Amino acid sequence: MSHPHPELGPPPGLPEGGLRVVALGGLGEVGRNMTVFEYDGRLLVVDCGVLFPEDSQPGVDLILPDFSYIADRLEAVEAVVLTHGHEDHIGAVPYLLRLRADIPVVGSRLTLALVEAKLREHRIKPRTLTVREGQHERFGPFECEFLAVNHSIPDGLAVAIRTGAGLVLHTGDFKMDQLPLDGRLTDLRGFARLGEEGVDLFLVDSTNAEVPGFTTSEREITPVIDRIFARSNRRIVVACFASHVHRVQQVLDAAAVHGRKVAFVGRSMIRNMGVARDLGYLRVPENLMVDSRELDGLPDEQIVLVCTGSQGEPMSALSRIANRAHDIRVGPGDTVLLASSLIPGNENAVYRVINGLTRWGATVVHKGNALVHVSGHASAGELLYCYNLVQPSNVLPVHGEWRHLRANAELARLTGVPGDRVVVADDGVVVDLVAGRARIVGSVPCGYVYVDGQSVGDVTETSLKDRRILGEEGFISVVVVVDSATGKLAGGPEIHARGFMEDDAAFDGVIPRLEEVLDGAAAEGVADIHQLQQLVRRTVGRWVNDTYRRRPMIIPVVLEV
């Protein structure tokens, strides 16, 4: 756990009639979205997602929001409202419900189906409430109204929250596609109606705030996918997010037109598309789908594989295919379609996969060389439109890195929102809405919580630093035996290394120095094992740094006889 804003003190008590807003993730980063609203001693949570680790976080599977701010007040949580079914908005729900299993989980039909499938793997049976656009529900002092929004997954919702402190509108992730594949438009009439009522605080998706104009419609991709299918005469492998129902639908439709069979590859892809199909969000033409185990009996020109791994995730199906660690192999003439955008920080991993696939002769089509993906987020033109429509009193940009938050804040100012009413905050920063005015009033501890296998929160920044050192510099073990009575050297030193120098003779130069230092310690009466270990570590570390300009992890072992 860390305190990201030491310059801000702990927040004062919430004034009577005030609304407190604390983001525990999603500000200054793309992922881990979770916002806590507090009114009259009760709490409402909007979204509870995960962040995926970077190369600098070795061994980490997922990164969770820091629940410590609400850990001792879980009984005050009225509900968890989920805006849509992406992992960065729902992935941490199982870990929150481990702390209190009966928190009501609220969301649209598809969102809850995806959450419930995930919770079954954690053996948690949740209390759920399915809502749809136009519906009003009360959770303690929070009256919530749900509005349809367009995104890269069906069934997205914005949520309007009414309390005695005023009206809050949270867009969730959204865009304004005027020709959506499912015909479900962002409810701009609803946004305008709320604007007429008076939106006191507007929380707005910032991801594409730097991108001018309007986000391209999903329909623009359909003819591009069709052309790729038409010119491909061997297998086609499509990689996309396991939740991108719209993109998978386009692939299924193209496969049906071109006489190909489709197989889903990867556990999350099979699970999520099964859920979408069962609920009617994914329309699968008859006799189109086959099991991936049946592919050997089909000619290459009739095969389409849909898998995960568009972000270069090391254990995903596509990464394993690229590394020849999967039953499925690609070769000359095969086409691989990466149908997603690049999440910031994943560029190197994605290009590593592209290079691996290209090495085996596959043609890789991606956003950099064809229009095979459009964003699910509103660009600057759409955000300006919404600000002019809603005319909020206060704005809190959410969901984005700092450059996105700042760009979004500037858009709000351009439309006439006073600069002192545009609040740019970070995770853990406390924003109070009191008497119609939003202000930063303090901050709370809010760091990364790492999931490593079955371990949650046990991995610290210190242990990650140790892992990075081990991975980059290697380690050296030094075993020394001393006489328990005299403290003099009785055996060794023995020096072994891994990931540094495989030849132990490389350390012959430091052994005389170690012997000299240990003899000096014995002469001065130093017999404490910990002190001797520190002496060995400093001596070897200094010599390695001077000789090899390296700083490996050094593990001294001092034994007494």
All domains of the chain in start order, with CATH: 19-214+375-453 (3.60.15.10), 218-365 (3.40.50.10710), 461-560 (3.10.20.580)
In sequence order, what DSSP letters do the residues of 81-114 get, joined into one string? Answer: E-S---HHHHTTHHHHHTT-TT-EEEE-HHHHHH
Per-residue confidence of the chain (561 residues) as pLDDT tens digits? Answer: 344 566 788 999 999 999 999 999 999 988 899 999 999 999 999 999 998 776 666 667 788 999 999 999 999 999 999 999 999 999 999 999 999 999 999 999 999 999 998 899 889 999 999 999 999 999 999 999 999 999 999 999 999 999 999 999 999 999 999 999 899 999 999 999 999 999 999 999 999 999 999 999 999 999 999 999 999 999 899 988 888 899 999 999 999 999 999 999 888 899 999 999 999 999 999 889 998 887 778 888 999 999 887 776 766 788 888 888 888 888 899 998 988 776 666 677 788 888 888 988 889 888 878 888 888 999 999 999 999 999 999 999 999 999 999 999 999 999 999 999 999 999 999 999 999 999 999 999 888 888 776 667 666 667 666 666 666 677 888 888 887 777 778 777 888 888 776 666 778 888 888 888 888 888 887 778 888 888 888 888 888 888 878 888 888 888 887
Contact status, residue 302 vs residue 259, Cβ threshold 8 Å = yes
CA distance 339 to 352: 16
pTM of the complete model beyond 0.75: yes
- Per-residue three-class SS string for 207-273: CECCCCCCCCCHHHHHHHHHHHHHHCCCCEEEECCCCCHHHHHHHHHHHHHCCCEEEEECHHHHHHH
